[in-house]
Amino acid sequence: MKRFTFGLICMLMLTGATLWAAGDATKGKTLYTTCITCHGADGAGNKALNSPQIAGQEDWYLERQLKNFKSGVRGSNPKDTFGMQMRPMAMTLTNDQAIQDVIAYIKTLKPKKLEPTLTGGDATRGKSLYAVCVTCHGANAEGNKALNAPKLTGLQDWYQLQQLKLFKNRVRGADPKDTFGMQMAPMAMTLANEQAMKDVIAYIKTLK
């Protein structure tokens, strides 16, 4: 009987921990008010404020980036102007539960169809360049959680260009604690110049 009782208590404790770890979208909606100014009420982002679309992005990737911003792994480099703007916003999320809650709310938002803003990219050349990306991000840029690679479809072209430049210049992915960012930096370095970046982005835009 004692063994049964002890086992039941353990099971309830584990269940409780699971429930605590799950995000609460209702609480997350309140927390999201901090995000609205830049990312919009619909999570579609705002180019004028250098804020990407976050609606439709994977929860595990959102969690990792929020924690990176909060801890200073991302957004502390003075050359990362827009990352530095994001870091204090992430710091308003006081603990892991708050992060899970706001992500739970973001998951209720539907991604918008993105309009192209970049010109001059050659998707045919970009397809060849994308061969470096395909192992991690997938043939259709759908991402791969096992390889810690986010999906690239659903991200604005201007934001992709911005981040490729940051990776190439070792502004992003330079912190030794940013394990996965450090993996991405040499991949960005294979793109010789901005034209190559535009080409690969033009190809990504053809994927669904």
Please give the annotated binding residues for heme c, written as ranges. Answer: 35, 38-39, 86, 133, 136-137, 184
**Residues annotated in the binding site, as ranges?**
35, 38-39, 86, 133, 136-137, 184
CB under 8 Å to 38, separation ≥6 — which residues?
45, 46, 49, 51, 85, 89
Instruction: Give strand pairing partners of 46.
Output: 51
Task: Residue 29: count other Cβ atoms within 10 Å of its Cβ.
Answer: 15
Which of 106, 5, 2, 96 has the alpha carbon at shortest distance from 52?
106
Secondary structure class of 159 (helix, strand, coil): helix
